Amino acid sequence: MEDSFRCVICGNPLANKTKLSARYCDRACRNKAIDLRRRQETLRRRNENERVLQEFSMWMAGFHLDLLRMAPAEAGGYRLGLWTGQMMYWFPSLLPSQVYRQTLHRTRTQDPFFSLHPFEPPIVPLVAHYKVQFVQNIPPHPDLPESDKAWWLKVPYALPHRRLPFNLKAVPREKR
Ligand SMILES: [Zn+2]
C-alpha cells in the first residue's frame, strides 16, 4: 500500500499533488528509469545473441560448410532473401539512414552483406526459408550470378529487427 505512493527509483514519497498514476518523484528519476530500461534492453539483446550463438552453433557450423561448398571462388559474402509475399527483401538490412549494423557477435560493420571470411552467422527476423545470394569480395560487392539452381535454406532462429518496411505476418506460410 505504502509502496504505491513512493518513487520507484529513489523511494522518496510522492507529493500529494502528483497523479495517482505517477511512479517517479521528478524528471531526474523519470530519466533514470528510462536510462535503466535502455540498459536492460541492451543486456537483453546481448543475452539473446549469446543464446542463439550457443543454441544454434551446430547449425551454424553446418551452414558455414555449405556456404564454402556452394560459394564461387570470387565470393566474399552472402545475403539472405526473404519473400515477403510481394518482393524479395534482403538481409542484412541497412536502412538508407543507417551507416553501421551490428553482427551477431556484436561487432560493428558497414558491410551490407554477411561476411564469408571470417564466417558471419546471419541475423534474420523470422524463422523461415531464405534465398542465398553471394556477393563479390571486391567493393562495391555486386551480386554474383546465380548458379544453375537457386539455393533456399531455412534459418532456424530469429532475432528482433527494428523498423522493417514490411509486415512479417504477411510472409506466406509456405516460406516458413
Ligand atoms: Zn525519485
Q: Report the alpha-carbon distance of residue 66 to residue 121 in Å, rounded.
A: 12
Distance 102 CA to ligand 1 centre (A): 35
Residues with CB under 5 A from ligand 1 (ion): 7, 9-10, 25, 29
At 3 the pLDDT is: 47
Q: Report the alpha-carbon distance of residue 16 to residue 1 in Å, rounded.
A: 15
Record the pTM: 0.80
At 17 the pLDDT is: 60
14 — phi, psi (to 5°)? -80, 140
At 64 the pLDDT is: 97
Write out residues in the chain with pLDDT < 70, as ranges. 1-4, 16-20, 148
Cell digits for 131? 534465398
At 117 the pLDDT is: 94
The total number of residues shown for the chain amounts to 176
At 19 the pLDDT is: 67
Cell digits for 138? 571486391
Distance 128 CA to ligand 1 centre (A): 45
- Which residues are CB-neighbours of 130 under 8 A, at least 6 positions away? 80, 81, 82, 91, 122, 124, 152, 153, 154, 155
**Checking DSSP bridges between strand 152-155 and strand 128-136, what pairing results, if any?**
antiparallel
Distance 72 CA to ligand 1 centre (A): 60
Distance 44 CA to ligand 1 centre (A): 25
Helical axes 27-55 vs 57-70, angle rounded to 10°: 60
Distance 57 CA to ligand 1 centre (A): 44
At 4 the pLDDT is: 56
Q: What is the DSSP string of 22-69?
A: ---SSHHHHHHHHHHHHHHHHHHHHHHHHHHHHHTHHHHHHHHHHHHH
Q: Report the alpha-carbon distance of residue 146 to residue 160 in Å, rounded.
A: 29
**Checking DSSP bridges between strand 152-155 and strand 75-83, what pairing results, if any?**
unpaired
At 150 the pLDDT is: 84
